[in-house]
Amino acid sequence: MTVSQIRGESSNHICGNFSKRLFPWVMAKGSNTYNKFVGDRKRSLFGNLQGTVLEIGPGTGPNLPYYPKDIRWIGIEPNPYMHPYLRKEAERLGLNIDIRNGAAEWIDAEDNSIDAVVSTLVLCSVQNIAYTLQAVLRVLKPGGRFLFIEHVAAPHGTFLRQVQSTISPVWKMLSDGCRPDREIKLALENAGFTSVNYEYFEVPLPIVSPHIIGVATK
């Protein structure tokens, strides 16, 4: 390995570590604004959950206020710098939570053990969306539900889709792996769920305004 390669890898490591430290702070500051747009939808989607609920990529915990108090909550969060924010929010709400390390592609839970899996603004940034959805199917009980709110790619041929595709490499670097042009709807439909139901809506945000909210059943 050359000196320049060593310097390059060191620089990438420092930048990546800085990004992982910075992103939780950005998320914590921005969650209140985003929840003003989608809070009612979250309340409707999550308000009647029961049993064991597993959230992939819970970040700083912006969904915690919308869950019933009596669920058993498990969070799979790969960024350890998110964990203190999660614990602080859970303490504020009086919730007992179980935070586990790991990636969404390899969920740390037993097969057929989870009543519901939740994902909000996560499928855009997982490394392999197909593996992630198979992991969700693996851990869900028969008849279990996958609840999601995700921003999605704009329709092909639109100006917004062109912008999303053009800006995607930079957006991914600055937003912890987020890909604004990812075809999430297609991935959900092809994953193997018994049913996938969603509706389209928009939020007043640049680049990532197209959203879907829905439920996929195992």
pLDDT recorded at residue 176: 72
pLDDT along the chain (218 residues), means of 10: 36 43 54 86 96 96 95 94 92 94 91 98 94 98 98 96 93 83 96 98 94 98
Q: DSSP letters of 152-213?
A: -PPPTTSHHHHHHHHHHHHHHHHTTT--TT--HHHHHHHS--SEEEEEEEE-S-SS--EEEE
End-to-end CA distance of the chain: 48
Q: How far apart are CA 198 and CA 150, in angstroms?
A: 10
Q: pTM, whole model, 2 decimals?
A: 0.86
pLDDT recorded at residue 28: 53
Q: Per this entry, what is the length of the chain?
A: 218
pLDDT recorded at residue 24: 54
Residue 148 backbone dihedrals phi, psi, to 5 degrees:
-145, 145
Q: How far apart are CA 207 and CA 187, in angstroms?
A: 20
**Per DSSP, what are the bridge partners of residue 214?**
148, 198
Q: Which two tokens stand for residue 35?
A: 């929840």
pLDDT recorded at residue 177: 82
* Domains and their CATH numbers in the chain: 3-217 (3.40.50.150)
pLDDT recorded at residue 12: 36
pLDDT recorded at residue 102: 86
Q: DSSP letters of 83-148?
A: HHHHHHHHHHHT--EEEE---GGG-SS-TT-EEEEEEES-TTT-S-HHHHHHHHHHHEEEEEEEEE
pLDDT recorded at residue 143: 98
For 151-185, write each residue's pLDDT tens digit: 999 999 999 999 999 999 888 877 778 899 999 99
pLDDT recorded at residue 32: 74
pLDDT recorded at residue 21: 55
